[in-house]
Structure 1
Amino acid sequence: MNQLRLDTRPLYMLVIDRIKDQSANGEWPPGTRLPSEFELAKLFGVSRATLREALRVLEEEGVVVRRHGIGTFIAERSVVQAGIEQLFSVTEWIERANRIPGTIGLTATEGEASPEDLERFGLNTPEPFWFITRIRTADGDPVVYCEDRIPQSVLPSGLNEFSGSIFTDLERVGRTIAYAETAIKPIAGHEIVFPALGVREGDALLLLEQMHFDSNGCPVLLSANYFRTDTFHFHVLRRRP
Structure 2
Amino acid sequence: MPAVEGGAPLSGRKLRYQQVYDLVLDIVADRGLSPGDRLPSTMELAEIAEVSAISVRRALDELERAGKIIRHQGIGTFVAKPRIASDPTRPGELLHTLIDDGTIPPLTTSLIGVSVGMPSKTIATALSVEPGQPVWEIWRKRSIDGTDQILERAVLPLSRVPAIDQDRLARGESLYRFLEEQYGFTDVYTEQAFEVDTPSRWETEQLTLSDRDRVVRVRGVSFDGDGSAFDCFEQCYDATKFTFYTAGQTRHRILGPPELSNWSVAPFTSPTAPQGRFDDGPAG
Larger radius of gyration: 2
Residues in 1 aligned to 2:107 and 2:127: alpha-carbon distance in whole angstroms: 29
Match for residue 169 of structure 1?
178
**8 Å CA contact retained: 1:108, 1:159:** no
Residues in 1 aligned to 2:35 and 2:82: alpha-carbon distance in whole angstroms: 13
Match for residue 27 of structure 1?
38
Residues in 2 aligned to 1:183 and 1:73: alpha-carbon distance in whole angstroms: 34
Residues 40-95 of structure 1, C-alpha deviations (whole Å, 9 max, x = no match):
8639xxxxxxxx9xx99xx99x75479xxxxx8632x5531123443453232347
Question: In structure 2, do the counterparts of structure 1 residues 22 and 156 end up closer, same or farther at CA, with 3 Å as the change threshold?
Answer: closer
* Range with greater deviation from structure 2 (214-223 or 114-123): 114-123
Residues 195-238 of structure 1, C-alpha deviations (whole Å, 9 max, x = no match):
21111222200000001111111011101100112221113469
1:114 aligns with 2:123: no
What CA RMSD, in Å, does the superposition of the two structures yield over aligned residues? 3.8
Of the candidates 175, 183, 186, which is equivalent to residue 193 of structure 2?
183
Aligned amino acid, residue 168 of structure 1: R
Count of equivalent residues: 206
1:140 aligns with 2:146: yes
Higher strand share: 1
Of the candidates 94, 105, 113, which is equivalent to residue 99 of structure 1?
105
Structure 1, unaligned stretches of length 5 or more? 1-10, 44-51, 67-71
1:214 aligns with 2:224: yes
Question: In structure 2, do the counterparts of structure 1 residues 13 and 226 end up closer, same or farther at CA, with 3 Å as the change threshold?
Answer: closer
1:198 aligns with 2:208: yes
Normalising by structure 2, we get a TM-score of 0.59
Normalising by structure 1, we get a TM-score of 0.68
Match for residue 83 of structure 1?
87
Q: Which runs of 4+ in 1 moved over 4 A?
A: 11-14, 94-97
1:17 aligns with 2:26: no
Match for residue 48 of structure 1?
none
